[in-house]
Amino acid sequence: MKQTIWKKNLVLLLLVVAIVVIPLVFIQGEYGGSDDQATDAIAEQNPDYEPWFSSLYEPPSGEIESLLFCVQTAIGAGVAGFVLGRLTAKKPQDEKKESDKK
């Protein structure tokens, strides 16, 4: 049983790696964000457009901006994992009731 699960996990891991690597190898060009594409589309349709507001904080470099985004992502993933874990965890009382039924 454990070997079957191990093999399935290995196949899934290889699929994930393939999904990440194949586009990087076969699709040439520059990868841009959707924010840049949206800004370009707005400027093309309405050259006189002015944004409603500006950012409250502008990081001094792109690396710091990426760092802050990664920290935000990690906090969100941690909260989501904690909530899902709490919702799906079995309580000791529930396990005892299930074992008594058998």
First to last CA, the chain: 23
Q: Which contacts (CB < 8 Å, 24+ apart) does range 4-8 have?
A: none
- Provide the CB-side half-sphere exposure for 86 (13 A, CA): 6
Mean pLDDT confidence for 52-56: 85
| pLDDT band per the 50, 70, 90 thresholds, residue 4 | confident
Residue-level pLDDT at 1 = 60
pLDDT tier at 38, thresholds 50, 70, 90: confident
Whole-model pTM over 0.75: no
Q: What is the pLDDT of residue 101?
A: 65
- Report how far residue 41's alpha carbon sits from residue 30's, in angstroms, rounded to the nearest whole number: 17
In angstroms, the CA 77 to CA 75 distance is 5
Q: Tell me what the mean pLDDT of segment 59-71 comes to.
A: 91
Above 70 in pLDDT, residue 93?
no
